[in-house]
Each structure stands twice: as structure tokens, then as C-alpha cells.
Structure 1
Amino acid sequence: MILVLTLAIVLGTMAGALLSARRQAKARTLADWAVGGRKFGVLIFWFLNAGEIYTTFAVLGISGFAWAYGAPAYLALTSVSLSATIGYWLMPLIWNAGRRHNLVTQADFFAAHYRATWLGVVVGLAGIAALIVYVQIQIVALSLIVRLTLGPEVSPAVSAIIAAIFMLGFVFFAGLRSAAFAAGVKDVLMVLIVIGLCATVAGKVGAASMLDVYRLAQDSYPGIGKLPGLQPSAGLGQIWLMTSALNVALGNWILPHLFQLCFSAGSEATIRRNAIWQPIYSLSYFFIILLGFAALLAGTQPAGGDTNAVLLQFVADRYPAWAVGIFAGTACLLALVPGSVLLLTAGSIFSRNVLLPLRPGLSDRTTLLASRLSMIGFAVAAVYLTLGGSKSLVEIGLSAYAAIGMLAPGVYAAFLWPRAHARGVFLGIVAGYFALLLPQAQALWKTLLPGWEVGLIAMAVNASVLVVVCLVLPIRQAKVVATA
């Protein structure tokens, strides 16, 4: 029953997504395929953008983080609200630049604004690397669901490959339009499932109500509801929460798929409405954290202590097969939809900003084909990372935000400081990656700034170098994208 219901939800959504996309228009150009023809209205844009709240990172990752650490899971609530505040200002600026100059990718923006095709190549490669890490989150979660439905005898490698194949199938032909339809389906289903689980979870753990679950958790595990949580030695205290939330908020719209998604909106008002309501939508994290605490009270023990599988194991242990099947099918969509958008973004960046500068004469049709084929390579790379690591989804997510945060100073400087230029942005990126990845630098930050999110420190180093270089070196070329 679990397998049948999971396949029915996943295959039914995929079929509906492809039919919906084909009824609108066939993706004939890269712009049609990658940004949906720049026509998405409030509802579709909502599900694609604000719907990022309902991903495997949010539902499986945060619930597992709450189970393992407790209060540090509140990071989800704070970071989403801060991101929406920044997005209300930043996203319309990105949208206007995209409309004015027919931009498709984030790397297009850097190349156009700073009049440097080579910078677009650098940014494109950095963006692809961060996207592959983010795709890893979706494949990790989806492979867990594959093993839940097909049985533990399916190896992690096979389940990861199956996950990647389904992910590619979502957008390989129809592009962003198919993901838009599926995003709406998965959000509606997930809201209903979270409501259903929370309405019944108290009875599963011996509590009188949902709020009583929090009381029982505090009584059974003192300190679970306040920082630093259940594992003080992990260093997840107040400083970690504030710096991590700020790093996620500053880097959220710099993620290439969300940056590119801004170009798909039909109007500036669509974007601003989305940003206004998104913090309210994020209150659903209250219930997701609740489920993590309930799993802890129920004594849930996922195989190998895998925090990513906590909620799946809890539902499988405490609910009937039909409920497990519906949850598993919907959880598949939580991974498939954002994962497919990530692969689509990586493919469009590769063809437009890495391949096209090397082969300027490529036609739209050839460029589109290159985008589709490159997605296969990126999916293979994400599968390789999945098999080689065992971090929690939240840890992988923070790594992706730290990596993509190296592009943030260049974006903010483009709209705030007319003196910024390509050489300053590039040297800032190089310095930022050294500060983020060099072991000696990591040891230094732990000594000087204990508890701080390393990604935020590296972003500050990046921005400082950018400012100094732009003050010392003159601007060589005029820009074509107007600053705010």
C-alpha cells in the first residue's frame, strides 16, 4: 500500500505537470524553459518561491534537527522572516534588471552589470558548485523515501540513482512550467498532511494537546526549549543562531535558482506580495518542530541514528500504512520539485554562461539541448556527494548557504555602490573562499570568534576586500545595469 500510494502521488503529479506545461506552450528557447517566459502570476510564483518553505530541508531536516538538538531548530523561523524582509527590497531590483536586459541567469546579471563576460563565467561556476551541494539535500532525502517504500534491501547507491532519475524527469522537457504545477500540488498536500499529523500527534505520545507536547518534551528533556539545546557541546548557542540566521537571510536570494526565479515573475507587484505574506507562511515551522519533539518523546530511533530519517521513521512506526504512503508520496514531491529547479538552474547557467562564451555562435536550440544534457552530469555529481557524506540536511544546507554567500557582496554592491567593479568583486570572491575553506582560517575564526557562523565571517572578509580593491583601483568600464 505504501508503494502504491507513493507511486500514485509522484507519477500522477509528474503527468499533470507535463500536461499543464504542454498546454501553455512548448519550451522552444532557453528563456521559455528556464524562466517560464517571464509570465508567472501571484499564485504560481507563490508556490515556486514561498513554497521553498516546504522542502525536505524544512520538513525532514528541521524536524530531525529538533529531535537531535532541540531549540537550535528555531533557526528556521528566524532565517525565513529575515529573508522575506530583504527579499521585499532586493527581488524587485533583480526583476527590473532582468526585464530591462533580457537576463536569464544570475551569472548574466554579473556579466551585464560589471561589463565582464569573464566574471559571468566565474560566478556561473561558483553558482553551479553551490547548487550541486543543494541538490545533494534533495537526493539524500529522496533516497531515504525510496528505501522506505521499496525496502531496506535497496542499497543507498541504487536509491540515490533512482532519486536523481525522477528529479531529472520533472523538468527535462517542459522546464520551469512543469515544476510550477508540481510545486502547487506538493504545497497543498504537505499543508494538509502537517495539519493531520499535528492534530493526531498528541495521542501518539501520551499528551493532552499539541502544546502539551512541548511541555512533556521540556519535562522529559530539560533545556530542549532554549539555547543551546540538548547538546551544549555542539556550540549551537545564541551567537550561532544569530549569525547563522543572518548568513542565511543575506544569502537566500543569492542562491542561483531563487535569483533566477525572480526573472520569471510577471510583475513587480507579484514579487512584493509574495514577500509580504511569506513570514506568515513560515509559522508552519512551529508544527514541524513540534513533530520533531513528538518523535523524541515517542522514542523514535531511525536506522543508524540518521537525523534526516527521524520524521519518516516516526510516521512509519505510529501511523497506518495508508497514512505512511500518502506522507511518503508527498515527501517525494518535497525533494523532486526543488531538486528539479536546482538542476534546471545549473543547466541554464552552464549553457548560457560557461559554454556560450566559449562557443558564441550556438543557436537557441543547441543551447537548450546543452542545458538539458548538462543537468545529467550535475545530478551524477550530486549522487556522488550523497554517497560520500552523512551530514544532516541542515548542516548540508548551511554549507550551501556559506558557499553561495561569496556572491552576495557583488550583488548588493551592484545596487548600492556605483563604484564597485569586476576586479573588486572577483578578488572579494577569491578572498572569501580562502576565508571559508582554508583550514588555517577556520582555526583562526574558532579562536577569535567562537560560535560564529563561518559563512558570515567569510562574507564579511569578501565584502571588505571588495571595498578596498574598488577604492584603490579605478573603474575601467561603465556599467549597463542602473543601480538603485
Structure 2
Amino acid sequence: MNVALIITAAIVILAFILGMLSGRKVKMNLEQWSVGGRNFGTLLLWLLMAGEIYTTFTFLGASGYAYLNGGPVFYILGYGALAYAVSYFLLPPIWRYAKEHGLITQSDYFVKRFQSPWLGVLTAVVGVAFMIPYTELQLAGLGTIIQISTGEAIPTSWSLIIASVLTAVFVYASGLRSTAWISVLKDILMIVVVLIIGIGLPLYYFGSFGNMFAAVHQAHPHFLSLPGGSKNLGIGWFITTLILTSLGFFMWPHAFGAVYSSKSERAIQKNAIFLPIYQILLMLIFFVGFTALLIVPGLKGSASNGALLVLSVKAEPSWLVGLIGGAGALTAMVPASLILLQAATLVSRNIYQAVIRPEASEETVHLLARILVLVLTAVTLYFALFAPNLIVNLLLTGYDGVTQFFPAVAMSLLWPQRTNKIGAASGIIVGVGLVMILLLTNHDPLWGVNAGFIALVANIVVTVVVSLATTRAASPAIALQEQGQD
């Protein structure tokens, strides 16, 4: 019997049970299902935000990026900390506004703030377009994790199907609460696993972190500096990518919407203080990637994403590999569940109710959102199984794309009397359009600068110019300095 498979399966089943039980005594309406009744305290909000932010990327992408590119990987360490600093000031006024007006989704903010249902439709369409491939990425990562950690004891297709069905069912039943409670299990496992492999593997093979860095430098002299193993990820790219990703960190619709679940703005600010602790874990993941570079060389392209798992299988006992597989599976299921929930709510509330059937009741919108979770899961699973390469180019635009929401959000807070719906919509359209053009024509970076940053600058200019040239915004200013109570 495959020990790793048994442990991985047990963790996934335990997560499913937690998800189902989380909403057992709660009467579900749209607000309870989608934003948890707006009563998550500091700890649960911390776990939820960490659960949605630290995904299969933590297990696969970060170590694989370190394995392939070396020095440029350190931007990942910086942008999270910068993003939390931004969130300390940006998110509390958004939370206040959302609570005051009963907002459920990110697009609700645009609708209410700019008095424009069509701006809500635009942001919903853009948001869903970028979230679907992001969900597919989680499933693809899940397949890699299960395949390598269990020694291919279970076919990748079946692991994807089973995990997708379980995720869809607990989201359908319990909504955001299921994601939050599974995040508790996921975070405990992830911290344990990352500490074990992030410290243990480098010390096992090299004796110390210093020896590891010395060995990498000796084998690949310029690997740990910019541009590392790449040809064009230099200082300009590094700085502009840091700025872009720190501003766009909470512009993902599922991250933006999760803020509404907080019971107070003080809880949000505490999270901004404590969440950077997770960046330490990312550093340990980099160490695993550097270790794998020397111990299991030759992984090319997307195969490098399995560097952490390949090295772990080579060095660790089966029970620990199973623990790694289970923790890795949850890093896919938790963010996938939140993305599916937010995408379904965006479609049902900001497209169906806003445009197709304005008279639809909250109960109807809630039911449709739950059904759409199943539909979107099926669509995402199809891409993951049969046509993953069809959306790879769209996936590349994801972070750059959602960051184009930032100018409209920031200006609605800082320049509310002049920023209007025409300027906001124009900026988003120009920004997203430019991102698509630059990335799909392989012009990233362009002149040594991140393509998304170039689009963001164009977005800001267009938003300002068009807002100044058109009618004043009618919506009131939102206070930035007011402090909430725990």
C-alpha cells in the first residue's frame, strides 16, 4: 500500500469534512455564503487571507522559479511585504464603504462608488476572465503534486476530478466559511512542511545555508544576482515588477472580496502587520529550489515546477512525502474554492442581476451563484484535463490584468471629487488592452520594464485625463483616517 497516497488522501478527506461542517449551524443567505456574515476576527481573517494568497505557487512556482531563474526570484519576497504596507491604508476605507452599503463583490464597489452598473459589468467580466485560468493553474498544480508525491499511484486526471468535485461541493454547501476553516488546516500543515523541507533539505545536502549558497555560486557564478538564469530580468524589470505586484496584490476579485468578511477595520490592519511573517516561509522555499538545482539538475521549462517535490521524494520518507502531498493539495483547493465562489457571485450579482434580470431577488441570486460554482468548476476542470494550453497566454496576463483596477480604486479614495465612471472605465480598458497586446506579442519585459507596469502608467494617465475632461463624479469622498474598533 502506498503510504504517501494514504496520508495525502486522508488530509484531503479531512479538509472536505471540515468544509462541510463549517456551515452546518449557519442559516445561509447570500451575505453569509459569500462574505461570511462580515464577522471574521483577526485570526480567522489572517488564515483566510493567507489561504487565498499562498497557493500552489508556494509549493511549485516559487521553488521552480528559484530553480530556473535564481536572483530574480527575490522579487517575490519583496512584493508581499510592500503589498501589506499598502493594504494597511487602502483596505480599511474600502471595508467601511462595503459595510455601509452592503457590498458583496469587488464589482459592487465600482457600481456603488461610481454609480454605474455597466462599470460593474466591465470589472466582473475582466475579473472572471482572469480568475478562471488562475483556477486552472491551481488544478494543474494539484495534478503535479499528486502525481509526483504518490509516485503516480493515482492517475492525474482522477486526482483532478476528485479534488474538483470535493471543492465544488463544500463551496456549494458552506461558502466562504468552508474556505476559512480549511485554511486553518492548510496553514498548519504548510508551516510544518515548509519548515521541515526548507531547513532540512539544504542542511542535509550542504550542512549549512552558507555552504548551499557557496555551492550554487561555484556551480553557477552569476545565478544569484540579476538577471540570474534569465537574459532580460534585470534591475528595471525587478523594480517595476515589485511596484506592479504590490499594488495589484489585493486587486484580485477574490482577495478584494475577502476583505468584506472582516468584523472590523482594525482586524484588517492587524493582518497587514502579521501577514509578512509568511514571507519567511517563502525564503525557505527558495532554498529548496536552490538545493534542487544542484541535486536534481536538468529540469527544463515547466518541469522545474516539480523541483521541490522531486527533491523531497528523493530525500524524504514516504510519510513525510504524503504530508507534503496533502499540504500541497490544500494549497490548490483553498484558493480554488475562494476563486470559484467570487467568480460565481460576480456573474450572478453583477452580470445576471445587474443587466439580465434586475428584479431578481437575493434568494435567486444566491441560488444561481451556488449553481455557477458547479458550472465554473466543470469548465475549469475541462481546461485542466483536455486543453490546458488554450488559456496559457491569458494566464500570463492575470496579475498584470487585475492590477489595472488599482488606479480607479485608489483615485476613488484619494481624488473622489474628480474621478468618475468614464475615466475609470477608460483607464481599465486601455490598461487591460495594452497588457493583452504586449504579453500576447511577447513584449514582456519591454525596454527592460515589466509590461504590466507600462500598462498601469498608461491607465493612470488615461483615467486622470478623461476624468478631468468629463463630468465631475457625484459620489461622496470616503474618509481615509477614521479608525474602527475591534
Taking structure 2 as the reference length, what is the TM-score of the superposition? 0.91
Q: Which shows bigger deviation, 159-168 or 179-188?
A: 159-168
Counterpart in the other structure of 2:68: 68
Paired with 2:440 and 2:62, the residues of 1 have a C-alpha distance of 29
Partner letter of residue 374 of structure 2?
I
Which AA in structure 1 matches 2:84?
Answer: A
Within the candidate set 332, 339, 362, 1:364 is matched to: 362
1:267 maps onto 2:264 in alignment: yes
Q: Aligned runs of 1:430-449 on 2, under 5 Å?
A: 430-438=429-437, 449=446
Q: CA deviation at 1:277?
A: 1.8
Q: How far off is 1:97 after superposition?
A: 0.7
Q: State the SS of the aligned residue for 2:454.
A: helix
State how 1:194-213 maps to structure 2 within 5 Å: 194-205=194-205, 207-213=206-212
- The aligned counterpart of 1:334 is 331
Query: Which residue of structure 1 lines up, in the alignment, with residue 167 of structure 2?
Result: 167
Aligned to 1:324: 321
Task: Quickly say closer, same or farther: Cα 1:217–1:320, change in 2 above 3 A.
Answer: same
Deviations 1:139-161 (A, max 9, x none): 11111123235654866555544
Q: By how many angstroms is 1:174 displaced? A: 0.2
Aligned-residue CA RMSD in angstroms? 2.5
Cα deviation, 1:74-124, whole Å, max 9, x if unaligned, reads 121111011011100111011001111010101101000101111111111
Partner of 1:15: 17
In the alignment, structure 1 residue 345 sits paired with structure 2 residue 348 = no
Q: Decide which of 286, 294, 298 is 1:297's aligned counterpart.
A: 294
The code of the aligned residue for 1:482 comes to I
For residues 344-392 of structure 1, the C-alpha deviation after alignment (integer angstroms, 9 at most, x for no partner) is 1101111111111221222222211211121233233433544544699
Provide the rounded CA distance (Å) in 1 between the counterparts of 2:322 and 2:214.
30
Q: Deviations over 1:420-444 (max 9, x none)?
A: 1111111112211221122599578
Separation in structure 2 between the aligned mates of residue 445 and residue 281 of structure 1, nearest angstrom: 28
CA-CA distance at 1:301 after TM superposition: 5.1
How far apart are the structure 2 equivalents of 1:112 and 1:133? 28
Give the Cα separation in 2 of the matches to 1:256 and 1:305: 27
C-alpha separation in 2, matches of 1:114 and 1:54: 32
Partner of 1:426: 425
Q: Distance in 2 between matches of 1:203 and 1:455?
A: 38
CA contact (8 A) 1:145 1:331 kept: yes
- The reply on whether 1:473 has 2:470 as its aligned counterpart is yes
Between the aligned partners of 2:170 and 2:217, the Cα distance in structure 1 is 42
Aligned to 2:244: 247
Is the contact between residue 247 and residue 402 of structure 1 (CA under 8 Å) also seen in structure 2?
yes
Larger mean Cα displacement after TM superposition, 70-79 or 192-201: 192-201
Alignment partner, residue 26 of structure 1: 27
Mark the CA change 1:244 to 1:263 in structure 2 (over 3 Å): closer, same or farther. Answer: same
> In the alignment, what sits opposite 2:181?
181
Tell me what 2:403 maps to.
405
Alpha-carbon separation, structure 2, partners of 1:304 and 1:98: 43
Contact 1:33 1:177 in 2 (8 A): yes
| Unaligned stretches of 5+ residues in structure 2 | 481-486
- Structure 2 CA distance for partners of 1:334 and 1:396, relative to 1, 3 Å: farther
Distance 2:329 2:74 in 1: 24
Superposed displacement of residue 170, structure 1: 3.4
Q: For the Cα contact (< 8 Å) 1:71–1:229, is it kept in 2?
A: yes
Structure 1 window deviating more from structure 2 (271-280 vs 372-381): it is 372-381
SS in 2 for 1:226: coil
1:138/1:478 CA distance change after superposition, 3 Å: same
Query: Aligned to 2:381, which of 380, 383, 392?
Result: 383
Whether the aligned pair in 2 keeps the contact of 1:217 and 1:224 (CA below 8 Å) is yes
* Among candidates 446, 449, 452, match of residue 452 of structure 1: 449
**Structure 1 residues 22, 300: closer, same or farther in 2, change over 3 A?**
farther
Give the partner amino acid of 2:5.
L
SS of residue paired to 1:224: coil
- Provide the rounded CA distance (Å) in 1 between the counterparts of 2:361 and 2:43: 33
C-alpha deviations, 1:47-96, integer Å up to 9, x for none?
A: 11134453211221100100111111112111101101110011101100
Task: Say if 1:34 and 1:344, in contact at 8 Å, map to a contact too.
Answer: yes
Matched-pair contact (CA < 8 Å) for 1:113–1:414:
yes
1:93 aligns with 2:89: no
Q: Deviations over 1:209-257 (max 9, x none)?
A: 23322222222221121111123x2x11111111111111111111111
Q: How far is the alpha carbon of 1:16 from its aligned partner?
A: 2.0
Q: How many angstroms apart in 2 are the aligned matches of 1:383 and 1:303?
A: 26
Residue identity opposite 1:363 in structure 2: S
CA distance in 1, matches of 2:301, 2:225: 27
Q: Distance in 2 between matches of 1:184 and 1:440?
A: 37
Q: Is the 1:402–1:456 contact (alpha carbons within 8 Å) kept by the matching residues of 2?
A: yes
- 1:482 corresponding residue in structure 2: 478
**Which stretch shows the higher mean deviation, 326-335 or 296-305?**
296-305
Contact 1:57 1:397 in 2 (8 A): no
TM-score, scaled to structure 1: 0.92
Contact 2:431 2:458 in 1 (8 A): yes
Task: Go from structure 1 to structure 2 and tell me whether the alpha carbon gap of 1:100 and 1:375 turns closer, same or farther (over 3 Å shift).
Answer: same
Q: Given residue 474 of structure 2, which amino acid in structure 1 is its aligned partner?
A: A
Deviates more, 1:365-374 or 1:64-73: 365-374
Please say if residues 134 and 398 of structure 2, whose CA atoms lie closer than 8 Å, have aligned partners that are also in contact. Answer: yes
SS at match of 1:438: helix
The answer to whether the 8 A contact 1:435-1:442 is kept is no
Structure 1 residues 474, 142: closer, same or farther in 2, change over 3 A? same
Answer whether contact 1:54 1:190 (CA < 8 A) is retained. no
- Which residue of structure 2 aligns with residue 280 of structure 1? 277
C-alpha distance 443-400 of structure 1, shift in aligned 2 (>3 A): closer
Number of equivalences: 475
In structure 2, the partner of 1:226 is: 225
